[in-house]
Amino acid sequence: MEGAKRQAFAVILAAGEGTRMRSSRPKPLARLCGKPMTAHIIDSVFNAGVEEIVVVVGFKSDEVVESLTRYAPLGARLNFVEQKSQRGTGDAVAAAMTALPDPITFQGQLPPTVLVLPGDTPLIRSSTLVALLQSHAQGSAAVNVAYTELPDASGYGRLIFGKSDTVLRIVEHKDASSQELEITKVNSSVYAFSLDVILPALRRLNNQNSQGEYYLTDVIEILVRAGYGVAGFRVEDANEVNGVNDRNQLSFVERIMRERINASFMSRGVNLVDPASIYIDSTVDIGQDVTIWPGTFLVGRTSVGTGAEIGPETRISNSTVGDGARVVRSDIEECHVGEDAVVGPYAVLRAGAKVPANSSTGSFVVLE
């Protein structure tokens, strides 16, 4: 369909400090399976086919820009916009609009879609974003609001639906009536807007609320009152839109992502003897027919060749292991292990060490 050909941009809101994380590191850079949390969202957006991505930064912006640029997938075009003062999500999106084309340049064409996401929902899948973009491109709504259903919706904004499954408004938990608090459809803070309508709607936002902030959620009611259609888009897996605000939530999200990573490798021909005890970063590459034994950690920019055998009780970081090699009960950091080599048991390879092909380190050794 012609609607599916709409150009798309993405806006990722990553300006927050994240005080509840109790960290000197900016919240978007919280480490998650080998990468900054927000870098996973950039990956999902890019894999959904959106190459033009605006990232709104704020707290320690230079550090965030440097890190996210370093981890960005090849081909992604990142544009960073600074939100100098934290005045709410509406203000953050308004800042991002300065980096997007003027809607007038698309006169006579279908207006582009603007995908808006928070920078703390790293479990969002690219397939979900593809479906959201298609739903928006093929429908007539000015905005599609992604939502999910939770038995306990405490703390979440609720979607208020009207006739024909149209969204009338989003009410925050603290502002909801007792009847509205019984609603289980909650806002995910992920949206697909038409570029031509979001700009004028943002200009009509005000900060007359208890927080003195400009809420992006208020845009929904503004658009409805102006006669535009607002549609809901249900995300079946509620975990995809779980936000990370503290260390407990980060740990929960990391467990789910680790399970996804392990399942992905097994589907590609890697044998994980006990997946629950094996930790593999999202930055690791593993060939077919590799066997990984319990208690193994593969972290950083690590590559394991076809047919290798790793573990048990082994840690390999930022290293290369050749085809057919064996590493047993050892610790390897920034090293190269050649094809069919044997490392360990109980070997320590420090940065720069090299194990030639078809050789053995022996047991209880330290190589530098």
Span 133-147, pLDDT tens digits? 999 999 889 999 999
Q: In which order are the strands placed within the sheet that holds 365-367?
A: 279-280, 296-299, 314-317, 331-333, 347-349, 365-367
Tens of pLDDT, residue by residue over 162-197, are: 877 799 999 888 888 899 999 999 999 999 999 999
Q: Is 269-367 assigned to CATH 2.160.10.10?
A: yes
Question: Cα(345)–Cα(327) distance, rounded to whole angstroms?
Answer: 7
Query: Whole-model pTM?
Result: 0.92
Alpha-carbon distance 314 to 278, whole Å? 10
Q: How confident is the model at residue 3 (pLDDT cuts 50, 70, 90)?
A: very low
Q: What is the pLDDT of residues 249-280, one digit of tens each?
A: 999 999 999 999 999 999 999 999 999 999 99
Do 2-241 and 269-367 show the same overall fold?
no
Nearest Cα to 341, choosing from 326, 362, 320? 326
Rounding to the nearest 10 degrees, give the CA dihedral for residues 81, 82, 88, 94. -40
3-state secondary structure of 153: coil
User: What residues does each domain of the chain span?
Assistant: 2-241, 269-367
pLDDT at 290: 98
What are the tens digits of pLDDT across the range 72-92?
999 999 999 999 888 899 999
The CATH architecture that domain 2-241 belongs to is Alpha-Beta Complex (3.90)
